[in-house]
Amino acid sequence: MTENCIIELKNISKTFDGDTVAVDGVNLKIRQGEFVTLLGPSGCGKTTILRMLGGFEVPTTGEILLNGKNIAELPPNERPINTVFQKYALFPNMNVYENIAFGLKLKKLPKPEVEKKVRRVLELVDLEGFEQRKITTLSGGQQQRIAIARAIVNEPQILLLDEPLGALDYKMRREMQLELLTMHKELGMTFIFVTHDQEEALTMSDRIVVLSQGKIQQVGRPEDIYHIPRNAFVADFIGETNIFHGRMTGSRQVNFLGKDFSCSEAYPAGTEVEVVIRPEAFDVCAPCTGMISGEVISCVFKGTYYEISVLDEDGKNEIMIYDKKALKPGEKTDLSVQPKNMHVMLYDTHKNHFAMERDGVLMDAYFSPWDARLSDDAEEGSLRGNIVSIIYKGDHYSYTVHTEEGDDLFVNDEYLWNTGDYVSIVIPASKIEYNRMEGEGAL
């Protein structure tokens, strides 16, 4: 990676107004010529990272190395980097040619050279002959192509694309995705693309960077992100998925949905895990012939497949499957799944730490997400905050609550709450473990 790494983010953080942490300790290396996508839900920090790369924001801490040199404080016009925004930001009073040539004229390039360059980029974006057209007479897709042409005509080393297809309708968006890919190949330029659309990220990228709350959750090839997610957030955010809580019963044996299954991953017996199974990974089989028995709750036609919801025999877990054949609600069915089609991840509870005063001493407190519940009575629980994420896991919901103290804590609850709800976390006193705090913050 180091030899052809064009840009490196080294421990980059960005805090706004003293307390909004938009980007939190991001480390990332991007290769020359790569197509990298920053993907994550609204507010996860994608645009802030892009704006720091473009020079529109200065990081609070950390370095941005371009070919090994720190450019974190260099103004945008001194960086070999250009940005395409979601809103095309074209000059409406100029025609297509003048819009694209604007930057080149500022650089005082000779007229024949400007003409040659403008013609070449118009060819690249498939709009030859549009030189004299007024911007206001172009469709949304055409305007976005002109915005891209204007950004690449200066031949930047890196092109930043901030949700550039967000304003286009579905068909035009699909078309432009393919065109962008072709352009990327022809130009050999490094593309850093921002989207919250996981399908778009999977289609276009060499590598995807999945972000949540300012932190990188996983960096990897689209196939790896989809099939081998590192945690429940990534599994849930990328595509439809089933996530079941389970426990290892042997090195490659896992128990979930009340049954033992062989799996590919080896963890010690007793380890708490989560099992990810994509809806298309299940095989539907006749009753009493599969590993999991259940009853069909719903079946919805989706064009090339049916989306079928099955309730397991204990009536606790809802399983989502995709199949070519329809099943009737109320019908009994069995399901099976091969070890290679399930992904077993360690269950991550290490984050549930918070500071709490006990007998006048500030302690590091911990609770298991299973031992707490949520309440809408602010006085009932000992911690208060807003729900920032919800992941459905078959028989319960996994919530992340951002507390007033600034901690992100996990709580498993069978009841459905909404993102943004203000809740208190109720933890029985006997279920809180305390450790004396060390260093900073200790009383």
Q: Would you say 41 or 239 has its CB closer to ligand ATP?
A: 41
Q: Would you say 54 or 394 has its CB closer to ligand ATP?
A: 54
Residues 89-148 that bind ligand ATP (CB under 6 A): none
Q: Would you say 18 or 441 has its CB closer to ligand ATP?
A: 18
Q: Would you say 43 or 103 has its CB closer to ligand ATP?
A: 43
Long-range contacts of 280-283, Cβ-Cβ distance < 8 Å, separation of 24 or more: 280/305, 280/321, 280/322, 281/337, 281/338, 281/341, 281/342, 282/319, 282/321, 282/323, 282/335, 282/336, 282/337, 282/341, 283/335, 283/336, 283/337, 283/338
Count, residues near ligand ATP per rule CB under 6 A: 13
Q: Does 4 bind ligand ATP (CB under 6 A)?
A: no
Q: Would you say 86 or 398 has its CB closer to ligand ATP?
A: 86
Q: Would you say 16 or 434 has its CB closer to ligand ATP?
A: 16
Dihedral sign for Cα atoms in the order 19, 22, 26, 30: negative
Give the residue from 50, 125, 49 showing the smallest Cα distance to 83.
50
Q: Would you say 214 or 369 has its CB closer to ligand ATP?
A: 214
Nearest approach in angstroms of CB 166 to ligand ATP is 9
Q: Does 422 bind ligand ATP (CB under 6 A)?
A: no
Q: Does 343 bind ligand ATP (CB under 6 A)?
A: no
Q: Would you say 76 or 315 has its CB closer to ligand ATP?
A: 76
Burial 147-179 (b: 16+ CB within 10 A, else e): bbbbbbbbebbbbbbbbbbbebeeebbeebbeb
Calculate ∠ Cα 234-235-237, nearest 5°: 60
Site string for ligand ATP, 180-209 (x = CB under 6 A): ----------------x-------------
Q: Does 86 bind ligand ATP (CB under 6 A)?
A: no
Long-range contacts of 118-124, Cβ-Cβ distance < 8 Å, separation of 24 or more: 118/149, 118/153, 121/149, 121/150, 121/152, 121/153, 122/96, 122/149, 124/149, 124/152, 124/183, 124/186, 124/187
Nearest approach in angstroms of CB 81 to ligand ATP is 17
Nearest approach in angstroms of CB 313 to ligand ATP is 41
Nearest approach in angstroms of CB 17 to ligand ATP is 5
Nearest approach in angstroms of CB 37 to ligand ATP is 12
Site string for ligand ATP, 11-50 (x = CB under 6 A): -----xx--x-x-----------------x-xxxxxxx--
Q: Does 166 bind ligand ATP (CB under 6 A)?
A: no
Site string for ligand ATP, 43-82 (x = CB under 6 A): xxxxxx----------------------------------
Nearest approach in angstroms of CB 12 to ligand ATP is 12
| C-alpha–C-alpha distance, residues 61 and 269, integer Å | 42
Question: What is the contact surface with ligand ATP in residues (CB under 6 A)?
Answer: 16-17, 20, 22, 40, 42-48, 196
